[in-house]
Amino acid sequence: MLAPASVSDYRLLAKRKLPRMLFDYLDGGAFSEHTLAENRRAFNQWSFRQRVMADVSQVDTATSLLGAPASLPLVMAPMGLSGMLAKRGEAQAAKAGANAGIPFCLSTVGICSVEEVAREAPNADLWFQLYVLKDRGFSENLLARAWQAGFKTLVFTVDLARLGLRYRDVRNGMNGNLSLPAKVRKALDLVSHPGWLANVAIGGKPLTFGNLASVVPSGRKPEDFKAWVESQFDPSVTWTDLDWIRQHWPGKLVIKGIMEGADALSAVEVGADAVVVSNHGGRQLDGAPASLSVLPAISDAVAGQCQVFVDGGVQSGQDLVRALCLGADGCLMGRPWGYALAAGGQAAVENLLDNIRLETELTLSLMGKTSIAELGRSDVLSLTEVQAMSGKGAS
């Protein structure tokens, strides 16, 4: 079998190894998945300026993310249930991030707890993601646990006032409403993946939501996760309710789920050190624009008052470079490391991240750049600009 060379390769391997319900949960988006597709399409709307005869014998991809050094302008985004993709998946992924020199962000609804991830990856730059929950006391306790374990950056996700409707999850019975024939098909799907059953379902125990073990005892049933989410997400929260976050979190604060300049400025006003321009990977409001498309306006709106990250559709080093040119300080990447984790565990994630580093370095070199600090808007061309250069834009 050929060695995986791209995210598409890892996606194919993950599809083979995972039960359909889990692969679709990882791979899918909301409603018709229009925004999911737009996130990828947006990157292809921008061309690089190729420059030649520059000394690019030494190229540096390193940067600083929220004051901490990183080998790439990249963060491993939080992904719920990623511990169901491989044995103790979040711990494996965190170790891969540490070895690659980039931050790893643990989801509230991970299988591994903050304590386990910190213990297994003691040298990692650990970020923790929290949702807007109704139970403030539970949230405060969870924040204290994360801080004590060694997590120094909090990613507060604000775009889940209600959980998006994901048709793939409905079809696969993640809402718990399965007919008898559907239950039989689900069971057959599970037994047709003996490697996953042996390594994860059996070998990866305990399959509980590590951070939520007291309120969601089982991680084996995604419908339990869905039920807890729907009962706990607080649709009444506004910006004025975020004071309690700063009262109980002494570290860096990142607000994730920003798609408008006005909301980015509101995040700055409540003390955010960074915002993530994000449509939740196309998993929430289908029909929303691609994250990359609104990035320049949001970067202009905050005008350096905080760092600006972007996620949604990021799959390669070339995607990183495009985002940096359009105003991002860094990117969050989710599904690709999930595919790699399912395909081959920590080693595969490390290989993916090494490929992304190489892609970034090569792209910089062929643009005549020696560091990411040299990148700017003038280094990429929109489709309109390319057409104008070729004379097609003339009337």
pLDDT tens digit sequence for 218-235: 555 656 666 666 677 777
pLDDT, residue 175, reads 67
**200 is written with which tokens?**
């994860």
User: pTM of this prediction?
Assistant: 0.94
Instruction: Write out the catalytic residue numbers.
Output: 280
| Integer Cα distance of 219 and 257 in angstroms | 25
Distances in Å between the alpha carbon of 185 and those of 176, 196, 200, 225? 14, 17, 20, 21
For the chain, where are the alpha helices, taking DSSP H only? 7-17, 20-27, 34-43, 89-100, 114-120, 136-149, 167-171, 180-191, 194-196, 222-232, 243-248, 261-269, 291-302, 317-325, 335-366, 383-390
What's the pLDDT at 314? 98
**What letter does residue 304 receive in the DSSP assignment?**
T
CA atoms of 96 and 83, how far apart (whole Å): 14
Contact status, residue 284 vs residue 160, Cβ threshold 8 Å: yes
Task: Determine the topology of domain 7-390 in CATH.
Answer: TIM Barrel (3.20.20)
Report helix angle 335-366 to 317-325, nearest 10.
Answer: 70
Residue-range domain boundaries for the chain: 7-390
Q: Which amino acid would we find at residue 300?
A: D
Collect the ranges in the chain with pLDDT lower than 50. 394-395
Measured distance CA(274)–CA(277) in Å, rounded: 10
The pLDDT of residue 339: 98
* Token pair belonging to 87: 């044995």
